Amino acid sequence: MIRLDIFSDPICPWCFIGKHNLFTALKGVDKDLFSIEWHPFQLNPDMPEGGMDRREYLEAKFGGKEGAIQAYLPVVEHAKSAGLNINFEAIVKTPNTLRAQCLIHWSKLEGCQDKMVQALFEAYFCHGKDIGNTNILAGIAAETGMDADVISRLFGSGQDLLEIKERDTAAREMGVRAVPTFIVAGQHVVSGAQSVELWHSVIEDIRNQLEVENTDVDQFG
C-alpha cells in the first residue's frame, strides 16, 4: 500500500476538482493501492472566525469584481469539464475553515475521512452552506455517520484547534504553498488539480514498480 498525503482546504475549488479527478482515476483500481490521509492547509489562516462576505472577500483578493471574474473563469471551465456542478451563486460567505479542518481530522479516527472531505466540498460548493458554522458542521458529521452530539461537544471544548493550527504551520514550513498538494510515498510531490489522465499515468507507474519489487522478492526471497 502506497501512502498518499493530501493537503487541502474544503473551500478551495481546485481541491474539489483535484479530488474528483483523483478518485475518478481510482475507480476500478485495487482499493488497497493507496493509503490516503488528508491534511490541513488553510487558504486564509487569518480569516475572521465568523468568516466574511464572499463578494467582498473575492474583490479584495483579486483587485475588484473584474479580477475575481477572470480568476474564476478557469475554475468554472475545469469544473464543467470534470462534470462537477459548482453553484457559486449560492455561496454568500467565505468561512474560516479551522473547525472544518478539525472535523476532517476527527473523521479519520472514525474511518470516514474521504467521505467527510467530499461532504464538506458538496456542502460548500453545491449548496452554499457556511462550513465555518459549528451547527452546520455537526449536521454534516451526522450525515457521514458520525455522532453529532459528540462533535458539538468537541467544538464547544475547542479540542484540537491548536493542533490543527500547528499542522497548518508545519505544512507551510515544509514547503506547501498552495493546494491541493499530493505527496506520493512520502517523496513525490504532485501539485494542483491534475487531470484524470495524469493520475492514470501515476497509478500505472506505481503498479509497474510494485510488480518489479514483487518479482525481486520472488527471485531472492
Check residue 158 and give its pLDDT. 96
pLDDT in tens, 100-129: 999 999 999 999 999 999 999 999 999 999
Report the C-alpha gap between 176 and 191 in whole angstroms: 9
pLDDT for 41 equals 98
As a whole number of angstroms, the distance between CA 103 and CA 28 comes to 29
Q: What is the pLDDT of residue 17?
A: 98
209 has pLDDT over 90: no
Question: Are the C-beta atoms of 26 and 199 separated by less than 8 Å?
Answer: yes
Question: What local confidence, expressed as pLDDT, does residue 219 receive?
Answer: 53
| Ordered DSSP codes for 126-154 | TT---TT-HHHHHHHHHHTTS-HHHHHHH
Question: pLDDT tens digits for 26-41?
Answer: 998 887 899 999 999 9
Q: Please tell me the predicted confidence (pLDDT) of residue 221.
A: 53
The helix/strand count (H/E) of the chain reads as: 9, 6
Q: Is the pLDDT of residue 213 over 90?
A: no
Q: Please give the pLDDT value at position 30.
A: 81
User: Using the 8-state DSSP alphabet, how is residue 188 labeled?
Assistant: E
Residue 25 has pLDDT above 60, yes or no: yes
Q: What percentage of the chain's residues is helix, strand, coil (to nearest 5)?
A: 55, 10, 30
The domain limits of the chain are 2-220
Strand 34-40 versus strand 2-8 pairing type: parallel
pLDDT averaged over every residue in the chain: 94
Which tens digits make up the pLDDT trace of 51-87?
999 999 999 999 999 999 999 999 999 999 999 999 9
Mean pLDDT of 187-216: 88
* pLDDT at 214 > cutoff 80: no
- The confidence score (pLDDT) of residue 210 equals 80
To the question of domain 2-220 being in CATH 3.40.30.10, the answer is: yes
